[in-house]
Amino acid sequence: MLPGWAEVDSQVRLWGIKLKAMKLFSILVCFCLAARAQAPASDVQTLQALLTEVHQLRIALERSTQIAPRIQIAVERLKLQQEQVARVARQLDDLRRELDRNRESQPKIQQRLEQVSSAAAETADPQQRKDFDVVVKEVKLQSEQAEKSLQQMQVREGELASQLQFEQARLTELNDRLDQMERALNMP
């Protein structure tokens, strides 16, 4: 579980417990009011205070009932978005490692091209020169393909970096929404 999620999970469970406690308290107040209704009507202020308290409890209960599912949905969306951010970050890291390997191989290909070209230039035998020319063409083709692949990877790296920034921004937005919901619950 990611850092901070244990706290969010425990808060969601705590809200459930609070919700049950408020329901139980409301039922107890209703029983008290019913018993009080059978008593003499001399203490109207006490009865009014109890009714006000029951009304406030009902409002708090309704608000908690309405916001708890939203929080659960937001938490699930947040988890999915964290997975998406992690997935894109992994793809970007993998691509960067592959780019590094390809960049390291470029000088080796160039060195091989230079060796074959110089060997072709030094040979006097026409058949060997012809063989070396074929090898030079193959190494040049290999070099061009490696360069093209490197360019494509660099374009993909830019795309993944942009996508990662976008996904991280969405994650931040979801975190902010969850914080707003949490503040709404803590308001009196």
Band (pLDDT 50/70/90 cuts) for residue 148 is very high
With a cut of 80, say whether residue 19 has pLDDT above it. Answer: no
With a cut of 80, say whether residue 117 has pLDDT above it. Answer: yes
Better pLDDT: 2 or 146: 146
What number is the average pLDDT over the span 149-156? 94
Domain that holds residue 33: 5-186
pLDDT digits (tens, 9 = 90+) for 70-100: 888 888 999 999 999 999 999 999 999 999 9
Distance in angstroms (rounded) separating the CA atoms of residues 13 and 18:
9
Count: domains in the chain: 1
What are the b/e assignments for 27-42, b being 16+ CB within 10 Å? eebeeeeeeeeeeeee
Better pLDDT: 133 or 38: 133
CB-based contact 88:160 (threshold 8 Å): yes
Query: In the structure encoding, which two tokens stand for residue 71, read together?
Result: 């929080």
Query: In the structure encoding, which two tokens stand for residue 164, read together?
Result: 């990662």
Longest pairwise C-alpha distance within the chain: 126
What number is the average pLDDT over the span 92-115? 90
CB-based contact 100:109 (threshold 8 Å): no
Question: Which has the minimum average pLDDT: 36-50, 112-126, 144-158?
Answer: 36-50
pLDDT for the residue numbered 14: 66
Better pLDDT: 13 or 101: 101
pLDDT for the residue numbered 71: 81
Residue 41: DSSP 8-state? T
Distances (CA, A) of 95 to 35, 101, 109, 116: 73, 10, 21, 31
